[in-house]
Structure 1
């Protein structure tokens, strides 16, 4: 078997990357996509263009710049989540710290109208009501890591992986 055939036969995994941006009051920035039928909101982020050689960190930065018009270097990796889903390969979701946005950055937000309807800042406790359950668990775990100042947390479907404490 040649190398290309071998690679083509390997299991497939999708990858996504997002960013948690906060304001000075600790609220997090969430966006309302127009492509979700369940009404759930998300964090700025999207697909890692791995076929183009893009890393998760590069994708998080590119997606945030495309979606909300802010080109901010992501900070620390907060969470990595192995997300299973029906009808698709597993997704590895990387979640980075976007830092605290100042008033000028918040005023400069410009939505990518092809994908997003609106954005808002919400208290972390209230954010869970906007997300689907998996995203809510992922964000909760990432915020816990951010508060504790510890390293990234490994998740499976939004839950800490076996042996991992958050």
Structure 2
């Protein structure tokens, strides 16, 4: 080892300390995951959260070090008492959301959960501490109920699902 070579190149403990320091300084992003779920008529499941003014897709924010699909499964169970296997969820869209208001940027993952079966439909029970209600709505009503950027995200995710691709968006628009 030469005098000007960093110690962490030969010392495993120093290397781990160096990595931890770099990790602590790197940006952190908020991550959310939502689901597109349909009834037997093809209508989309929307939820009406009590902590914001507009309807939304079911899902929510992912916890630290939690994979997006696992966080979505957790959120669906917490919010709607809906238990979905990961195999029922296919990634349809990733949307990078620019900083806005008090929020830093974030990544939103949209998964297509397909059509719920009759048992899944009958098991839906909204968590009264988070949701005022839920409902299956046609796309025209969904466009009216959702914030414009959520509608753009849903529309892109539906298109990606139909074409068997994954949409990559910036603020709801194709990147």
Q: Same-fold call, TM > 0.5? A: yes
**Consecutive aligned runs of 4 or more in structure 1 exceeding 4 Å deviation:** none
Structure 1 position 99, deviation (Å) = 1.4
Q: Tell whether 2:41 aligns with 1:28.
A: no
Q: How does 1:1-166 map to 2 (within 5 A)?
A: 2-36=18-52, 39-49=53-63, 51=64, 53-73=65-85, 74-84=88-98, 85-148=100-163, 150-161=164-175
Q: Which has the larger radius of gyration?
A: 2
8 Å Cα contact 1:12/1:89 also seen in 2: no
Q: Which 5+ residue runs of structure 1 have no aligned equivalent? A: 162-166
Structure 1 position 103, deviation (Å) = 2.7
Deviations 1:101-141 (A, max 9, x none): 12332121111111100000000222011111110100011
Partners in 2 of 1:57 and 1:104 — Cα distance? 22
Determine helix, strand or coil for the equivalent of 1:20.
strand
Partners in 2 of 1:33 and 1:75 — Cα distance? 22
What is the TM-score when the length of structure 1 is the normalising length?
Answer: 0.88
**Aligned length, in residue pairs:** 156
Alpha-carbon RMSD across the aligned residues, in angstroms, is 1.4
8 Å Cα contact 1:42/1:131 also seen in 2: yes
- Residue in 2 that maps onto 1:164: none
Query: More helix per residue: 1 or 2?
Result: 2
Q: Which moved more, 1:104-113 or 1:5-14?
A: 5-14
- Residue in 1 that maps onto 2:8: none
